[in-house]
Structure 1
Amino acid sequence: MNITDLKAQNLILLEVISGSRAFGLATETSDTDIKGVFYLPKDKFYGLHYIPQISNASNDIVYYEIGRFTELLLKNNPNIIEVLASAPECILYQHPLMQQFSLKQFLSKQIQQTFINYACSQIKKAKGLNKKINNPVDSKRKTVFDFCHIIDQQHTYPLNNWLQQRQWQQHQCGLANIPHATDLYALYYDENGNKGYRGIMQHENANDICLSSISPTDPFIAYLSFNRNGYSTYCREYKSYWQWVEKRNEQRYLTNSQSGQDYDTKNMMHTIRLLQVALEIISHGTVTNKRPNRQELLDIKHGKFSYTENLHKVDSLLSQITEASKTSSLPEEPATAEVMRTLINIRQTLYNNHQTGSTPFTGNQPD
């Protein structure tokens, strides 16, 4: 199933504007994110292939099956709590049955842990971008050669340099294992090219060195050390970096680069926003998606604070949340039994409407 199927079969129960536009943090370059809720037809729900969510290719439009939506609400998932707490102006469509759900059923002291965990993951993402921004990986991929060194008497030399100094060709070299010496090899050279050596690597893009059959009478030249772990690490970092380049949001990348900060400023903005929302929930039992401190949050996004300054903000919010939780009137856990009755009632009503042939929806369907 896809989004077109959901709309064609009238399966959507809720559709809201989410993300920066819901938070009051949209700028000229902001996308419009959509989140929503759908229900599976009875035959699919009871079948073998439950579908928990459906999204578009860019993942900026996501619909959750009502069972999955409820499950995430009971876990106090920040993104899903925000969907249920959508302001009226952000609700594009709402089936009357969805009004049976209320925030009061879900908000609990679990918020403290789930929001903090989510915020901490944003901090990790924010700092993780530092390495990619400040340590770009050259587009020309290194080879096995770049991780090989020659041990000649008491000195080591990069393999390429060592071969060039002797005007030797790698394909005329032969390597043999040295017992009990990991990634250390004996190197031999065939000046006439008639001994059948296979070279150090078979082709330029090879991911390993190559061994040859060596005659006991062939003269030993030197030892070759292959930094296999270093090469493997480089390959992972090369792949990760260029996949990031291919998929990165260029506007977001430029914002981070131009701000001169060594972290992902947008992730840090959302870290602080999440913690502010958590403090509001713990203290007052309410959720306000549209933030009253738009300028402060945009200043964070635009890199006007150092990473250390933002961490001080985070630490202050964490302390306030911890203190507020001591006197919070929120229950320890969501009203799970009540929520399950509501979910079952909604699903039964929807399926009964289909069986009787009555129209399951009133009001306008989302386009």
Structure 2
Amino acid sequence: MSDSPTDSSRATPSRIRGLEQVDRLSVPLPHGTEVTTRVERMASGGRRIPQGVVGRVVRAHDGGFDVQIVGVGEVWFARDELIPRRPGQVQFARRREAAWAALTPCVVLETRVGSHAWGLASEGSDVDVRGVFALPLPWSLGLMEAPADLVSADGSTTYWEVRKTVEQALRADPNTLETLFVPGARALDVIGEWLLAERDAFVSKALFGSFGRYAMSQLDKLTRSQRLAEHRDLLLSWLCEDPAPDLDEVARRLAVVSPRSATSEENALLAAKTYVKQLYRSLWDQGLLTANDFAALTVYARGGGQRPPSARELRPKNAYNLLRLVSTAAGWLRHGEPTFEATGALKARLLDIKAGKVPLEDVLRDAEAMAPELEEARRDSRLPEHPDFARADRLLRRVGEEVARRWVTKAPGPLGRDAPEPPAMEWRDSE
């Protein structure tokens, strides 16, 4: 629906109200919410954090929140010391909290994933939970778009709606297939039992790309990001010279000190320019630059502003998981069934990577060394080329019919007579 060019008074979904006038000091702040600080705070080491700094919520505890601030780390703030940064995020937080409260009783399948499922957990490891929920029939009707996922306030638990789960599984999404195939997956409803019974329909050789090739490409990106971080302080110091060097000169210098060789001088310069662009785009995304360009990067360097963390502080936490994905893909393709728990030498290596004892360059080399094994496993695999779309379609129809039956007959439970009310839609005329 869109506004008519001849009738500006028509109501449209863009004029939904009810969430627009909200108290930004009382709305929930789920994991990942971008916030602005309302008070000055002293971080560890006596570093002053001024009012108005932007950060992201990473967890809730003790009546407040740990907020990740670039260049500082995690700092605790009370709820009334933070406000969501944008109006859209206020609305998002309200909607997400309301959907979580209303629909978690509709969860039909649940499992513990992450390091606990991989045999790589330590005493301080987070417990990550994923699962699937079904939408009560009224939530799939009307103009309001129903939520396709539910996320807990601390970000540790995620549930996907049944249709989204099936669509992701058909694409061989690693997180979805892991949720369905990890040995601890348990059904909380007969609909969850159906999902587990039909999960083989989603498996195909497509996991070669979604698990293996994806993981290796992400490892390569992590390696490039770390290389950039290692040279960041040096690059910023160059920009403080008088006169400040231009982009071509910075790229020339960076190409000389880059640890990885290029096939030609031209390619080395191109790669160096790409690194510089990645840097100012990243700083722009973090709110540290006034514009997304090289000129703003120069101003930032010469202004002595808040610096991002050094390369040693980065230690990408997910590098070990990406290498694990490559190993899981090779095993699944070769044997026709998955093994998620790491053992033996692989487990020891993954734990070293997780602890930051292995340089990313070495992790990438590990993955590249596994590439021939992955290719061979795909070539010889007995898995089908494509998932069973017809079987998946029958599953979705069966679930839809069951949800409708429970609602129409007012069967006991959250999908029947105890179903939560869908959110009301309010309209306002255009001004």
Provide the secondary structure at the position in 2 that maps to 1:305.
coil
TM-score (norm 2): 0.54
- For residue 305 of structure 1, what is the aligned residue in structure 2? 358
1:123 & 1:206 partners in 2: Cα distance?
Answer: 26
Which of 315, 320, 323 does residue 264 from structure 1 map onto?
Answer: 315
1:291 & 1:206 partners in 2: Cα distance?
Answer: 42
Which of 295, 308, 316 does residue 231 from structure 1 map onto?
Answer: 295
- For residue 197 of structure 1, what is the aligned residue in structure 2? none
Which of 74, 84, 100 does residue 3 from structure 1 map onto?
Answer: 100
Aligned positions of 1:119-130 closer than 5 A? 119=215, 120-125=217-222, 127-130=224-227
- 1:72 correspondence with 2:168: yes
- For residue 193 of structure 1, what is the aligned residue in structure 2? none
Which of 360, 374, 377 does residue 324 from structure 1 map onto?
Answer: 377
- For residue 137 of structure 2, what is the aligned residue in structure 1? 42
- 1:283 correspondence with 2:325: no
2:167 & 2:307 partners in 1: Cα distance?
Answer: 33
Counterpart amino acid of residue 266 in structure 1 = K
TM-aligned CA distance change 1:149 to 1:61, over 3 Å = same
Aligned positions of 1:144-293 closer than 5 A? 229-234=293-298, 257=312, 264=315, 266-292=317-343, 293=346
Aligned positions of 1:30-109 closer than 5 A? 30-48=125-143, 49-88=145-184, 91=186, 94-101=188-195, 102-109=198-205
* Equivalent pair of 1:126/1:267 in contact (CA under 8 Å): no
Could you list the runs of 5+ residues in structure 2 that have no partner in the other structure?
1-97, 245-287, 416-431
2:243 & 2:413 partners in 1: Cα distance?
Answer: 72
Q: Which moved more, 1:22-31 or 1:288-297?
A: 288-297
1:26 & 1:135 partners in 2: Cα distance?
Answer: 33
* Equivalent pair of 1:35/1:63 in contact (CA under 8 Å): yes
- 1:347 correspondence with 2:347: no
- For residue 258 of structure 2, what is the aligned residue in structure 1? none
CA shift, 1:109, in A, is: 0.8
Provide the secondary structure at the position in 2 that maps to 1:14.
strand
Provide the secondary structure at the position in 2 that maps to 1:2.
helix
Provide the secondary structure at the position in 2 that maps to 1:26.
coil
Counterpart amino acid of residue 268 in structure 1 = A
- 1:23 correspondence with 2:118: yes
CA shift, 1:289, in A, is: 2.1
Which of 351, 359, 366 does residue 412 from structure 2 map onto?
Answer: 359
1:351 & 1:301 partners in 2: Cα distance?
Answer: 46
TM-aligned CA distance change 1:64 to 1:290, over 3 Å = same
CA shift, 1:237, in A, is: 9.1
CA shift, 1:83, in A, is: 0.2
TM-aligned CA distance change 1:146 to 1:325, over 3 Å = closer
CA shift, 1:133, in A, is: 6.3
TM-aligned CA distance change 1:321 to 1:63, over 3 Å = same
2:289 & 2:322 partners in 1: Cα distance?
Answer: 43
* Equivalent pair of 1:35/1:62 in contact (CA under 8 Å): yes
Query: Cα deviation per residue 1:190-231 (whole Å; 9 max; x = unaligned)?
Result: xxxxxxxxxxxxxxx9969xxxxxxxxxxxxxxxxxxx9533
* Equivalent pair of 1:109/1:282 in contact (CA under 8 Å): yes
Counterpart amino acid of residue 71 in structure 1 = E
TM-aligned CA distance change 1:265 to 1:207, over 3 Å = closer
Counterpart amino acid of residue 325 in structure 2 = L
Counterpart amino acid of residue 232 in structure 1 = A
1:130 & 1:40 partners in 2: Cα distance?
Answer: 45
* Equivalent pair of 1:38/1:66 in contact (CA under 8 Å): yes
2:153 & 2:212 partners in 1: Cα distance?
Answer: 29
CA shift, 1:32, in A, is: 1.0
CA shift, 1:127, in A, is: 4.2
Counterpart amino acid of residue 274 in structure 1 = L
2:404 & 2:301 partners in 1: Cα distance?
Answer: 51
Provide the secondary structure at the position in 2 that maps to 1:232.
helix
TM-aligned CA distance change 1:146 to 1:82, over 3 Å = same
* Equivalent pair of 1:299/1:305 in contact (CA under 8 Å): yes
Counterpart amino acid of residue 111 in structure 1 = L
2:156 & 2:356 partners in 1: Cα distance?
Answer: 24
Counterpart amino acid of residue 96 in structure 1 = V
Q: Alignment identity in percent?
A: 24
Counterpart amino acid of residue 326 in structure 1 = R
CA shift, 1:361, in A, is: 7.8
CA shift, 1:134, in A, is: 6.3
